[in-house]
Amino acid sequence: MAACTVPAAVRCSMKFLFKDTALTSKKICYTSWRTCSSSSSSCSSESPAAVSTFAETIGHYDHLVQCGSLRKDAQQRHVLQQLAQLQRTLKKYSNSIYLSPSPPRLDSKDVKSQLQKDNAPDITTAENKGGESADKEEPAPPPPKGFYIYGNVGTGKTMLMDLFYSRVENTHKKRVHFNGFMLDIHRRIHRRKQSLPKRRLGNMFTYDPISPVAMEISNETCLLCFDEFQVTDIADAMILKQLFETLFKTGVVVVATSNRPPDGTTTSEYCHTICLDAGIDYRRLDNVAAGKLYYLITNIIICVCVSIVTGPQVLTVLGRDVTLEKTCGSIADCTFEELCGRPLGASDYLEMARLFDTVFIRHVPRLTLTLKDKARRFTTLIDNFYDNKVRVVLLAAAPLDRLFVHSGGEDERDRQLLDDLGLSGEAAERLTLFTAEEEIFAFQRTVSRLMEMQTESYWVEGDRSHSNKHINT
């Protein structure tokens, strides 16, 4: 049996031909906990202008509850109260007093001038401000603490962060999805390495680009908001440790959401940790505006772009060519293997999100932990599509609530890696690499998001035919 989810809004842009199929509808519980738009008739009394005081922020949240856009949730309101306090602090906040050149980390005169270029130009110090020397200045007060908000899927973490961010009256702020942030970091590191002078024969040197990249970001912003903070790559974890140490020391305030509690001490030192988990997935609650879910039983034949010939399209991503075999305008008709069976990543999926507003994904198998690589790519794919409002139609081997199977996972590669690391079975049980905890949490998030992505309201919001929507690249 195959399951396919097709929102009613898809009928506006494509035609379906069915052969021996039965169309049935199944209503689910769902509520939209996103901020209602200023044009919404139910919230027309709310001023579209951003507000920043504590009372107005809480009042706005209460208004969203009263007009039916949000459900009353004491935990959410408590978290927003704390964010509103930070919002007021950030109104006149600047991290310029914390900025100072990072110490050179190199072993050659050949790159000393390059490092001075990296660190000197945009750094604000007492000297270039015309003030007294640093040793005569009083120590700067500690910067405001940020927030690390974690909890189960669909509890409203992203919604609260976005409410907070939209009302921070500080131009030096940035809100990013964590995947996009890591792509930006890798691009900056690559650019700096490319700008280094060529190494001379017999002259060895080392150059650490992470500190200057962190200083670069610190000079650009004093507030960073991260959605879906989750690190599963060891190389990324090493980069982030050094990067965040510099960001925090230079006064950058971080607000992050995650499904997982924080691991490191650095985060707890510079961020308040809050667990937001009332045991409710708001994406599944009943809401008339959410529309219906449709399941198609047995095989279907989908004809898209009836009047236009479909064909392949080549995407150029970071110097690589990625070909999608069947596309038509803003629609891509793909297979699961095409998207997740190849070594693709967040940068590839972000480029797809930029080019296509509707993507068909055929032949999605039941995802066990044995298929870890493909399952990870699928969760990354859905994360990026969801964040950019790409409309997705799945032809899957099972309904969403049975698509991910938390079994398997001990494949030959895992056993080989255990042997290479010299680890026993007991040691492996303590490592998420082998216990697959991160995959299980990611699976839960993906199912919750796919449920929302099937709703009528999501499809209407994802329509780019009448507007140029911003894509988070």
Find the CATH number of the domain harbouring 216.
3.40.50.300
Query: Domain tally for the chain?
Result: 2
Q: Do 311 and 436 have their domain in common? A: yes
* Letter string b/e over residues 336-361, b meaning 16 or more CB atoms within 10 A of that residue's CB: bebbbeeebbbbbbbbbbebbbbbbb
Q: What is the C-alpha separation between 246 and 175, in angstroms, rounded?
A: 19
Q: Do 340 and 385 have their domain in common? A: yes
Q: Do 214 and 312 have their domain in common? A: no
Residue 157 lies in a domain: yes
Q: Do 449 and 334 have their domain in common? A: yes
Q: Judging by beta carbons within 10 Å of its beta carbon (0-12, 13-18, 19+), is residue 167 exposed, middle or buried? A: buried
Q: Which domain holds residue 246?
A: 74-97+143-195+208-275
Q: Do 264 and 304 have their domain in common? A: no
Question: Which value, in Å, is the radius of gyration of the alpha carbons in the chain?
Answer: 24
Q: Do 373 and 238 have their domain in common? A: no
Q: Do 379 and 271 have their domain in common? A: no
Q: Do 378 and 455 have their domain in common? A: yes
CA atoms within 13 A on the CB side of 460: 8
For the chain, the 3-state helix, strand and coil shares in percent, each to the nearest 5, are: 40, 20, 40
pTM of the model: 0.61
Residue 122 lies in a domain: no
pLDDT in tens, the chain (473 residues): 444 555 444 444 343 322 333 333 333 233 343 434 333 334 433 444 444 456 788 898 999 899 888 889 999 999 999 999 999 999 999 999 998 654 444 444 444 454 455 544 444 444 444 444 445 567 788 999 999 999 888 889 989 999 999 999 999 999 998 888 888 998 898 888 888 777 666 565 567 889 999 999 999 999 999 988 877 677 788 888 899 999 999 999 999 998 888 876 567 789 999 999 877 877 766 444 444 444 433 344 344 444 457 889 999 988 889 999 999 989 999 999 999 999 998 889 999 999 999 999 999 999 887 788 898 899 999 999 998 999 999 999 988 888 888 765 555 555 554 555 555 555 545 444 444 566 677 788 888 888 888 888 888 888 887 655 556 55
Amino acid identity for residue 463 in this structure: D
Q: What is the C-alpha separation between 297 and 22, in angstroms, rounded?
A: 6
Q: Do 173 and 306 have their domain in common? A: no
- Strands across the sheet containing 391-396: 22-26, 293-297, 3-5, 391-396, 358-364, 331-335, 320-328, 311-317
Final residue before a domain boundary, out of 241, 275, 309: 275
